[in-house]
Amino acid sequence: MPQAQGWSEYYDELRDRPPRSTLIAALDAFGEASVESLAIDLGCGDGRDVVEILRRGWSVVAVDAEPQALAKLAERNLPGSEKITPIVSRMEDVPLPLGLQLVNSSFAMPLCEPERFHELWARIVEALPAGGRFSGQWYGPRDGWIGRPGITFLERDAAVALLDGFDIEMFDEEEADSTTPRGKPKHWHIFHIVARKR
C-alpha cells in the first residue's frame, strides 16, 4: 500500500481506469436511479467509481482521508458535480448520511485496523435500509500485506458471517500473484462483494 505521500502517483496511474465491477453490479441491480438515490463512496480516491455513480444519476458523498484525492476528483470537473459532497475524513470517523442506499468502498475498507473496521461495518449495517447495498473489497488472510499494521484481513467464514442479514449477490474470491498499481509484486487475496440488506 502506498504511503501517504505516494497516493498522488497512485491516482495518476489509475486515473483513466473503468469503475470497479463490484460497483457496476450494485448499480445494475438497483436499476434506474431516482432523485433520492444516494450513495457514499468510502476511500473514493480520485473518483474512479464516483464518475460512474454520478453518470447513473445518483448523488454521492465522496470520502477520502487524503485531501489530494478530493482535489483530483474536483479537477475532473464532472458534469453533475453539484451532486457530489466531498468529505476529507478517515472513513472510520465519517457520519453516514440519512437516506443512504448504497455504500461503496472499492479496495479501501480494509485500510483501517480491525476494531475500527468492525465498528464501521456495524454502522454501515445500521445505516442501510432494507434493500440497500454494500459493494466493495475485503482482504483475505493469504493476502501479501498480512501483518501490516492498520489493515484488516478476514477469514472467508468471518467475511461471510459479517454478511448475515444480507442477500449475497456477489462473493468472488480472488487469489493471484500480480503487481500493485505502483509495479510492486504482490500476492492478492481479495473478496469482491455485493450484498443487499434484507
- What are the grid coordinates assigned to 163, written together? 454478511
- Pick the closest to residue 104 from 86, 118, 88, 124 (CA basis): 124
Q: Which is nearer to ligand SAM, 64 or 196 (CB)?
A: 64
CA distance 80 to 186: 37
In 10 A of CB 128, how many CB atoms? 21
Three-class SS of residue 31? coil
Binding footprint of ligand SAM on the chain (CB under 6 A): 7, 14, 20, 43-45, 48-49, 63-66, 69, 90-92, 106-108, 111-112
Cβ of residue 131: shortest distance to ligand SAM, in angstroms?
A: 24
| Residue 105 near residue 43 (C-beta atoms within 8 A) | yes
Q: Which is nearer to ligand SAM, 44 or 162 (CB)?
A: 44
Chain CA centroid to CA 173, Å = 16
Three-class SS of residue 12? helix
Cβ of residue 45: shortest distance to ligand SAM, in angstroms?
A: 3
Cβ of residue 78: shortest distance to ligand SAM, in angstroms?
A: 15
Q: Which is nearer to ligand SAM, 93 or 167 (CB)?
A: 93
Cβ of residue 69: shortest distance to ligand SAM, in angstroms?
A: 4
Q: Which is nearer to ligand SAM, 45 or 86 (CB)?
A: 45
